[in-house]
Amino acid sequence: MPRSEIQQALDTLHEKAPESARRRFARMFRPPVAEVQPQALRVAIAVVVRDSQVLLVCRRGDGALSWQFPA
């Protein structure tokens, strides 16, 4: 965020700019992205650790509780 005196100078320059420059500026301006809302976790995973070995496991599909282990 610019300091207030810099923002005032920018505002003045924008107001005095030709209409074509103001349109070009408006096309380039992107409004801030809306805040992202949290989403529920949609997967089931397991992490199995044994000494220095780690196994990641994910559940198959949305059906019954069957698990797929990596080959």
Q: Concatenate the DSSP letters of all residues of 5-31 into one string.
A: HHHHHHHHHHHHS-HHHHHHHHHH--P
pTM above 0.75?
no
Residues 6+ apart with CB under 8 A from 46: 56, 57, 58, 67
49: left (phi over 0), alpha (psi -120 to 50) or beta: beta
Residues 1-56: tens digit of each pLDDT: 668 888 898 889 889 999 998 888 888 877 777 788 888 777 777 888 888 888 87
